[in-house]
Amino acid sequence: MDAYEIAVIPGDGIGPEVVDAALPLVADAAEEAGFSFETTRFDWGTERYLDRGEMMPDDGLDRLSAFDSIFLGAVGHPEVPDHVTLHGLLLPIRKGFDQYVCKRPNVLFEGIESPLRGYGSGDIDFVVYRENTEGEYASVGGREHRGFDHETAVQSALFTRRGTERIVRAAFEAAAAREGHLTSVTKSNAQAHSMVFWDDVVEEVATEFPSVEVERLLVDAAAMDLIRRPHEFDVLVASNLFGDILTDVGAQITGSMGLAPSGNVHPDESSPSMFEPVHGSAPDIVGEGVANPLATVLSWSMLFEELGETRAADALWTGVTDQLADDDAPRTPDIGGTAGTDDVVADLRSRL
Ligand code: NAI
Ligand code: MG
């Protein structure tokens, strides 16, 4: 019997609410599938920052490196600037473990109403492969002449051949596995250096995947088309910034931020991957007990899938889809119900 070691960082706001609620359920799913896991909890985040001036300890990455996987709730606090929380915890983990694939499925589940008229169950089903270690989120730049009229800020985007090739290849592999097609999102009309380079890489890698049809879209058109014709998308690949923005669109058209899962994946086992709901710390609903735990449950499903524990992954994913399809099941207010976080998890446990 395999026993995995999983680091759990609940983080801020509703992060601990959804993470703690889901843990007994995911332990059930593991037991049912014949394996177990130990969790080690790290209370890193904004409380620690307010107390000691750091989001995580200096040796934080070292302490995480031995784990099979990492689960994170959310970070972000109304009293601390978001760049401090993001750069203090989330980005160092993504970059430090070279988690270059940010994988974000967007599925319109049965029983969920899309804000898009005429869209029903299964009509939207695509996955975004977002580059997760460089691009527009590279720490390249600076701020000079603070406070003067000639104050200047420079923020450069970094696109390496290795970094671009590997995310593009991962997306092609996913498209080939789904027997689907790939949409590469750029802005190569305006950004004629980095994005034309991206297009060139896509063209090169495409020769390895003759079965995969490739579409190219500019990011503004992609934002529009995700609303106009979301049923036509299958796998999208995009830079760090573009992928970030488009997946928020994806979460909305498939019903709620509370349903969107994600993985920050380093594909081989040399360092751990990290799974997390797409949503943030939701300060507007914190403490009310109504945060939707399903994005967290689906993210655990992705974590188990990555570990090769397909049975537990499927059980969690199916549990969520069955619950959503059931009109009588409890649901949280973000998807039209009146139930609390715990009711939703209790119902899911009874379904496993
Ligand atoms: P958010 O995702 O926290 O909230 C956006 C809206 O969606 C809010 O109305 C919220 O109530 C709702 N929502 C989010 N998750 C929900 C859930 N599970 N159940 C029900 N409703 C849910 O994004 P926002 O408000 O832009 O940011 C809040 C804080 O979170 C900021 O400090 C931001 O920096 C941080 N953040 C952190 C992320 C992360 O940890 N990966 C991602 C996005 C934002
Ligand atoms: Mg985002």
pLDDT in tens, 32-75: 999 999 999 999 999 999 999 999 999 999 999 999 999 999 99
Domain count, the chain: 2
- Same domain for 40 and 79: yes
CA angle 209, 215, 220 (to 5 degrees): 140
Among 238, 253, 268, residue at a domain's last position: 253
Active-site residue, from 187, 234, 343, 347: 187
pTM score of the predicted model: 0.95
Q: Is 100 a catalytic residue?
A: no
Ligand 1 pocket test target in 279, 297, 342 with most atoms within 8 Å of CB: 279
Average pLDDT, the chain: 96
- Same domain for 234 and 270: no
- Same domain for 132 and 13: no
Residue 81, domain member (yes or no): yes
Q: One-letter amino acid identity for 332?
A: T
Q: Does the CB atom of residue 291 touch ligand 1 within 6 A?
A: yes
pLDDT of residue 269: 84
Q: Is 137 a catalytic residue?
A: yes
pLDDT in tens, 294-344: 999 999 999 999 999 999 999 999 999 999 999 999 999 999 999 999 999
Residue 73, domain member (yes or no): yes
Q: What is the 3-state secondary structure (H, E, C) of 15-33?
A: HHHHHHHHHHHHHHHHHHC
- Same domain for 64 and 12: yes
Among 206, 228, 253, residue at a domain's last position: 253
Instruction: Give the pLDDT mean for 278-288.
Output: 96
Q: What is the 3-state secondary structure (H, E, C) of 209-258?
A: CCCCEEEEEEHHHHHHHHHHCHHHCCEEEECHHHHHHHHHHHHHHCCCHH
Residue 230, domain member (yes or no): yes
Domain that holds residue 53: 1-100+260-352
Encode burial over 259-295: b for 16+ CB neighbours within 10 A, e otherwise: bbbbbbbbeeeebbbbbbbbbbbbeebbeeebbbbbb
Residue 112, domain member (yes or no): no
ipTM over 0.90 threshold: yes
Token pair 């959503």 in the structure block, residue: 324
- Same domain for 237 and 132: yes
Give the CATH number for residue 268: 3.40.718.10
- Same domain for 183 and 89: no
- Same domain for 299 and 247: no
Q: Does the CB atom of residue 76 touch ligand 1 within 6 A?
A: yes
Q: Does the CB atom of residue 284 touch ligand 1 within 6 A?
A: yes
Adjacent-strand bridge partners of 217: 185
